[in-house]
Amino acid sequence: MKLMNNKVFLDTNILVYAYSNTELDKQSIARKLIVECDSYVSTQVLQELTNTLTKKFHNSWEDAQNAVLESCKNNLLHINEVGTIVNACDIALKYHFSFYNSLIIAPALESGCSTLYSEDMHNGQFIEDRLKIVNPFV
């Protein structure tokens, strides 16, 4: 059962671990976040997941499609639009993140999430005094 008022955003690496069989401890944590939280992903996250599954892990396109469909079933989807890209540029300027990391942060803010789970960003950092970046694997 998902916890209400626990809106979280998942970076691509969290979904990759959910589908990976190489690091079972991280897989377990990633799957628990998806099951227990009101979790959001963006169109960019799904694109990056597809690319990683097919290029790095050599999964079939059918497996990648199934992962995308399952991710949309188990997480809420934020569709990146022009405003999201503009917000990402503002975040990159203000916080000195790369554009692509900023394009993860922007939809997390737009979705009203209080936590962004990511292995790749600054653990413990607050964005706009309302979004905390957390590395769930430390």
pLDDT of residue 110: 98
Residue 104 and residue 102: Cα distance in Å, rounded?
A: 5
Could you give the domains of the chain? 7-129 (3.40.50.1010)
Closest by alpha carbon to 38, among 6, 77, 71?
6
pLDDT of residue 74: 95
pLDDT in tens, the chain (138 residues): 455 558 999 999 999 999 988 899 999 999 999 999 999 999 999 999 999 999 999 999 999 999 999 999 999 999 999 999 999 999 999 999 999 999 999 999 999 999 999 999 999 999 999 999 999 999
Q: Say what the pTM is.
A: 0.93
Q: Secondary structure of the chain: what % helix, strand, coil (to 5)?
A: 55, 15, 30
